[in-house]
Copies of this chain bind each other. A is one copy, B any other.
């Protein structure tokens, strides 16, 4: 079967490009002696995680317990969950995971640490816990090196836990300053920081400029998307995921409607103009979406599509696209090679 035979909308992954993306980041991190721990939240496909491992990754990162469970079931053996896991039910599942694979988590509060300690002690497990610090997302993470050191100390002092290091996303020179100050504080009490985990695809090629990083987590790099092209860390001919759609309506001279909308692409803009790049009509403006319709202005295009014509869209953000689909279609040289289940999607906790 060839791409032109697929019903639309179809999420197509160019396997040659994907493998090249996997190899490129691995080579770079290897060159700089940084461990590679790809984040699977982008693809959620166990087979792709295994390709990342085969290329040299030390393990994977997941964002939810359920993702980690799917990956562990599929044979992935080293999983980092950079999230504050809270609540009896999730902690019980965490301990079952930690009992069967090499597993680590993060915390940014004493509350989270106490939850881990209680569950790990009861399960008779030693759980590595990294301290998350805030390097600019203004999301989770302790705010100062002093808080980081205190939390690291609390982890080290807690039965059932091992202090696993420091974690953040994204990173810049200030992140190194934060880590360095935290290390100095921890050294006073004899604690060393074995792992410093940074992450993010947009700034992946500057990982080697960081003086403190030991491990890198990137997710989107496996596919790339319009936001990553804008960030300058991938080029259009490296983008491995696209969505093939059909023009289902041409109600006016300029307007064209695609059979993919916010339930196909998500509404993520990430600061971009429009909802995607149409490869066959790069001047077109994908200016609005309904749930199952993409609204495109083909006015700027010299030639305009016919109804029934198929067009290929590079999404703004690939991660939510994978999450909306139950399967992605792996192609090589335009031929369908294998359909992959997005096995770790849809499991909410």
Contacts and interface: CB of A to CB of B under 8 A. Distances in A.
Contacts of A267: 266-269, 320
Most buried by B among A143, A246, A291: A291
A108 B264 contact: no
A346 B346 contact: yes
A7 to B, nearest CB: 5
A348 B9 contact: yes
Contacts of A86: 246, 248, 259, 307-308
Interface string A273-291: 0000000000000000011
A171 interface: no
Given A263-B320, A268-B267, A292-B63, A251 B108 contact: yes
Question: How many chain copies does the complex carry?
Answer: 2
A291 B319 contact: yes
Interface residues of A, number: 61
A307 B246 contact: no
Going nearest first, the 9 A-B pairs with the smallest beta carbon separation are A267-B267, A140-B249, A111-B307, A84-B248, A326-B346, A7-B89, A7-B349, A63-B292, A267-B268
A326 to B, nearest CB: 4
Interface string A57-87: 0000001100000000000000000011011
A207 interface: no
A212 to B, nearest CB: 21
A109 B140 CA distance: 51
